């Protein structure tokens, strides 16, 4: 029984790792797109984003999402 639980746990961990990798890739793509958009609109936008992220790290996702 314990061995089965371990195998299942390992499979779940592997799936979780894959999801994390995909999420990281999506985040990287989103940041790239935001950087491109910021370059087109206003050169100073990336600096503003960095300052906002520095003050409130949890707001970084929403900061990127707004652009």
- The per-residue pLDDT for 67 is 47
Asked if 30 contacts 64 with a C-beta cutoff of 8 angstroms, the reply is: yes
* Domain-wise residue ranges, the chain: 2-66
Residues lower than pLDDT 50 in the chain: 52-54, 67
pTM score of the predicted model: 0.33
Asked if 49 contacts 38 with a C-beta cutoff of 8 angstroms, the reply is: yes
Structure tokens at 11: 């499979």
In tens, the pLDDT along 17-29 reads 888 888 888 888 8
């Amino acid at each position: 029984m314990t061995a089965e639980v371990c195998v299942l746990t390992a499979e779940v961990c592997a799936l979780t790792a894959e999801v994390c990798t995909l999420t990281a890739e999506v985040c990287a793509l989103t940041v790239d797109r935001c950087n491109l958009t910021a370059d087109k609109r206003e050169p100073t936008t990336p600096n503003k984003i960095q300052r906002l992220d520095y003050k409130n790290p949890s707001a970084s996702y929403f900061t990127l999402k707004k652009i």
